[in-house]
A = this chain, B = another copy of it.
Amino acid sequence: MKTKYSIVRDSIKTKILNGTYQPNQRISSESELMKEFNVSRHTVRQAIGDLVTKGWLYRVQGSGTFCADMSRDLNKRNVTRTKNIAMITTYISEYIFPTIIRGAETQLSQHDFNVSLFSTNNDHEMEKEVLEKILSQDFDGVIVEPTKSALPNPNIGYYLNLERKNIPYLMIHAYYDELEPPNIIMDDEMGGFMQTEHLLELGHENIVGFFKTDDNQGIKRMKGFLNAHRKYGVVANPNNVIVYNTAEKKTTPVEQLKKLLSKSNSDKPTAIVCYHDELAVLLLEVLREYNLNVPEDISIIGYDDSYLASVSEVKLTTVKHPQIDMGYAAAKMILELIQNRKVEPIVFTPELVVRNSTRELK
């Protein structure tokens, strides 16, 4: 149950944290807030009072209420405090994320850092909440896997506030173009190229590609997919490039594949490039429904070399994601950044892992 004053309080705090209110800037007056939220003065004062006692605001009688300057003093850093790293990922417990996290955790705990985990479920609103939480606390560094990196990000202000507070951060998997932060990614364009090249070299020409395009990984893998076609002189059928976003991930690819499989034999794809193993496993079920054997009737290739690739019924040909090594690298880089060292972006090169889900087309 959300109380009115907490709504007002949180709304003001949001504006402080996302940079709408700059340090020492006057915020709306009490009467303005009364109108804005349609509440009594008492409620507004309660909300503001809360933030004043917590140090986010200060009041000057007759003048107004002002945003405090939270750029933290450096002397605070010197006292022996516990050292904390925040790690923001889209998911915590699924897929390859536990492994990435473990890589970072192992490394960081050796340097006496605690790791606190936050997940966004690939949702901007949750990313916002997480960032507010982190900004309200006292982390020494933040490792971020961006949420929907291919879309304009409404939370850029929070990242800028991290910079203002001198809290270093880096991004893995992708990064928001507006920020160009230190980052650790893999060469997804090459990865998409390798997936497709592998199939082209096996003689496939009617290849359908599924790409999640709300993050940059998907965009780049799609680019690699198209480049491979060009390089091999195979014209990519526009209908064979299926894009979807996170919300549709359980539905759109399945529906689209079914549509493609219902076509006459000559138009039917002979191979499928998947955004990642998770999708590949999902599509394997569709193929089973249609009584298509993999790889005899149709080839399929995944991405990430997750546990799904080797544990599923058909062992998937896939592209290797560094997983634990990426976690290591992220930990090392954030430690460097905390020591104010210069760092260079890291790009992992993908590798093809050939298993049983692809075969030569005769």
Contact = CB atoms under 8 A, between A and B. Distances in A.
Interface in A105-155: 105, 109, 112, 114-119, 133, 137-138
Interface residues of A, number: 32
A322 to B, nearest CB: 14
Interface string A29-44: 0000000000000000
A202 to B, nearest CB: 24
A82 B117 contact: no
A55 B311 CA distance: 51
Contact of A117 (B84, B99, B115, B137): B115
Contacts of A54: 80
A112 B133 contact: yes
Given A93-B98, A98-B93, A117 B133 contact: no
Within the oligomer, what is the number of copies of this chain? Answer: 2
A313 interface: yes
A82 B138 contact: yes
A174 interface: no
Nearest to A323: B93
Contacts of A82: 137-138
Interface in A179-196: none
Contact of A116 (B55, B101, B116): B116
B281 A311 contact: yes
A102 interface: yes
A300 B211 CA distance: 38
A80 B53 CA distance: 9
Contacts of A53: 53
A102 B109 contact: no
A287 interface: no
A84 B108 CA distance: 17
